[in-house]
Chain A
Amino acid sequence: MNTADQYLKAIYLAQRMEEGPASTGTLAELLEVSPASVNEMIGKLEGRGLVEHEKYKGASLTDEGLERAHDALQTYCIIERFLANVLEVEEFRDEARTLESVIDDTVADRLDTIIDRPAECPDCFDPERDCCERLEVCGPAN
């Protein structure tokens, strides 16, 4: 998954958590980068018609951006579910985060042929718990 898709996914999750535009601070925290880096990338994504940015409010995905973010989150869900259920990795969240930049969506699609994923994926992803709420090992909601 490339950097742009990781940003789109983070904006999507931040919008869901904040129930509105994604703030620079939340994105910086989610992506573990500086606010300056976030602003620079938001500008690029805006230029490509994937994001709309409103000063002092934050970033919102356009329809096209939303579609890409949805695909990126689905790829991430496949990686998490694969790590948790096939490789039985306990720290599947941390590992998914370190692997997502190296795992392409075509590779995730192939891994998807051996995992059992709910039809509503990725809508069942819980941003607060950083995993699919239908994943057994995700644990109880806070």
Chain B
Amino acid sequence: MSLGQRVSSDHQLARLLQIGVVLEEVVESRAAHHLESLPEDEREAVDDEVRALLVEAAEESADHRERLEALIDDLDAETVAYEEINALVDAQYGPPEDTDGVLYDQLCNEETAYKFYDDLIDAIEASDVEFALERDRLLETLYDIREEEKEGVEEVTEIMEERA
């Protein structure tokens, strides 16, 4: 057991970035599943704003994934292919009951991703290890992604409040 939040090696950093990739893949896959899973009448009732939110979430996750993969490449590690994660999401997927359920799940996605990057940044900043990739580039990428996740949380919250 290791007490204290800090990233202490390239290997551990690569593993955490891999987990980040999987989280993004889960977001991307669930967003796609949500749109397909709603019953016909509910699907039609999903307004353009919610539809646009899900499409944007999937695109943003794909972009984050690519940026994380570029970092992982420099650490000589590999990532799990999207198709594999998509299949796992598919196997365990339980569709939300309605549009509010979809929005709530999307909020969880964004909040979880934000929390993950926030903790990861803290753990990297708490470490004085010299990684195989440039620390500034690593942190800049993670700051940017964290900021976008924060905006994502705000965006979903806004839509939920409008609908309440």
Contact = CB atoms under 8 A, between A and B. Distances in A.
Given A87-B80, A107-B115, A110-B109, A101 B3 contact: yes
Contacts of A107: 19, 23, 112, 115-116, 119
Interface stretch (B46-54, B88-96, B133-141, B147-155): B88-96
A114 B1 contact: no
Interface stretch (A17-25, A29-37, A49-57, A120-128): A29-37
A142 interface: no
A137 interface: no
Contacts of B80: 86-87
Contacts of A87: 15, 18, 22, 80
Interface in B29-88: 30, 80, 85, 88
Interface string A73-117: 000000000100011010000010111111110110111011110
Which of B80, B93, B111, B119 gathers the greatest number of chain A CB atoms within 10 Å? B119
Contacts of A104: 115-116, 119
A113 B30 CA distance: 10
A33 B3 CA distance: 9
B81 to A, nearest CB: 11
Contact of A102 (B1, B16, B18): B16
Which of A32, A101, A110 gathers the greatest number of chain B CB atoms within 10 Å? A110
A99 B15 contact: yes
Interface of A: 3, 6, 10, 30-33, 82, 86-87, 89, 95, 97-104, 106-107, 109-111, 113-116
21 contacts: A31-B1, A86-B22, A86-B80, A95-B12, A97-B2, A99-B16, A101-B123, A102-B119, A104-B116, A106-B108, A106-B112, A107-B23, A107-B112, A107-B115, A110-B109, A111-B19, A111-B22, A113-B93, A114-B85, A114-B88, A116-B91
* Top 9 A-B residue pairs of the complex, sorted by shortest distance between their CB atoms: A114-B88, A110-B112, A98-B2, A107-B116, A102-B123, A97-B1, A101-B5, A106-B112, A31-B1
Interface of B: 1-5, 7-8, 12, 15-16, 18-19, 22-23, 26, 30, 80, 85, 88-89, 91-93, 108-109, 111-112, 115-116, 119-120, 123
